[in-house]
Amino acid sequence: MQDKPNGLPTTQPNGEKLKSIIEVALDRRATMNFARGPVPDEYLDAILLLAGQAPSGYNLQPWRFVVVREEQNRRRLQKVAFKQPKVAEAPVVIICLGMKEEWKARADEIFGEGAERGGLQTESWEQARDGALNFITNFQSMPVWVTRHAMIAVTYLMLVAEAYGFDTAPMEGFDPAGVKAEFDIPDEAEVVALLAIGRAAEPDKKYTGRFSLDRVVYAERYGEPWHQVGQNQATG
Ligand SMILES: Cc1cc2nc3c(=O)[nH]c(=O)nc-3n(C[C@H](O)[C@H](O)[C@H](O)COP(=O)(O)O)c2cc1C
């Protein structure tokens, strides 16, 4: 496996500073329409490398990404994504997969190297590997397990792209069987999302609001109200 990436771009392509994590969370919209113009290769690599830093159970990293940039391929993808215009408009659309089998073949490498790098707190990495395989295959629903992990990586993709000044659109509107057939994706894969990356055509989608904390957060036990402190309530 690789060490942490270095030499990543430290500004947006236009030289502006990266967005802060707060700006990223507040600015990101699921863009409906994209303008023309590429995502430069070094930025696309940086977005993918940083998404790869996402956490996963036992560091098994069961996500895989098919990066679709050729126009004819985006049009093929659009056909199996309910003709959503953004699939053809955005310069990059990533097919985000969770692999239900393939990760098992990499378990030795992950546990062995994890131990070598001093990151495993057990005496034998083989025992740790066997425990993990047993837990995942016997106690987890595999579609849920791969989706859980792949979506964290998709979220990293979105947020890193936003920090670099790009716009994104996550999509669940596609036919998984059609996507698999068009792009030679193995049967065992769960197609968890499509993610378009590019620049929004102006104006970007409007903010549509969020629940207040008292409607989605509980204190200590389900149903117990959470009392928000401070004056940071959103206005407008
Ligand atoms: C997993 C996921 C799947 C989505 N699928 C679609 C989609 O197929 N088409 C679409 O137009 N928007 C899709 N959206 C965008 C949502 O509609 C959007 O995130 C939501 O309305 C909130 O808007 P905002 O992200 O701009 O704040 C999806 C969002 C997520 C997180």
Which atom from ligand 1 is nearest to the alpha carbon of 31? 26
Q: How close is the Cα of 95 to the center of ligand 1, in Å?
A: 15
Mutate to test the pocket of ligand 1, among 31, 77, 172, 194 (most ligand atoms within 8 A of CB): 172
Kindly list the structural domains of the chain, giving each domain's residue range(s) and its CATH number in brackets, ordered by start. 21-203 (3.40.109.10)
Query: Atom 16 of ligand 1 has which residue's CA nearest to it?
Result: 30
pLDDT over 50 at 236, yes or no: no
The residue-averaged pLDDT of 80-87 equals 98
Ramachandran assignment for 152, one of left (phi > 0), alpha (psi -120 to 50 degrees), beta (any other): alpha
* Type and span of the H or E element at 77: helix 71-79
pLDDT for 212-223, tens place per residue?
999 999 999 999
- Closest Cα partner for 72 from 176, 170, 183? 183
The residue-averaged pLDDT of 183-187 equals 98
Tell me the C-alpha distance between 219 and 182, whole Å. Answer: 47
- Give the pocket of ligand 1 (CB within 6 Å): 29-30, 84, 170-173, 193, 205, 208
* CA distances from residue 33 to 26, 64, 90, 210, 215 in whole angstroms, order as listed: 19, 25, 8, 22, 31
- Closest Cα partner for 107 from 137, 143, 140, 147? 137
pLDDT for 94-132, tens place per residue?
999 999 999 999 999 999 999 999 998 777 999 999 999
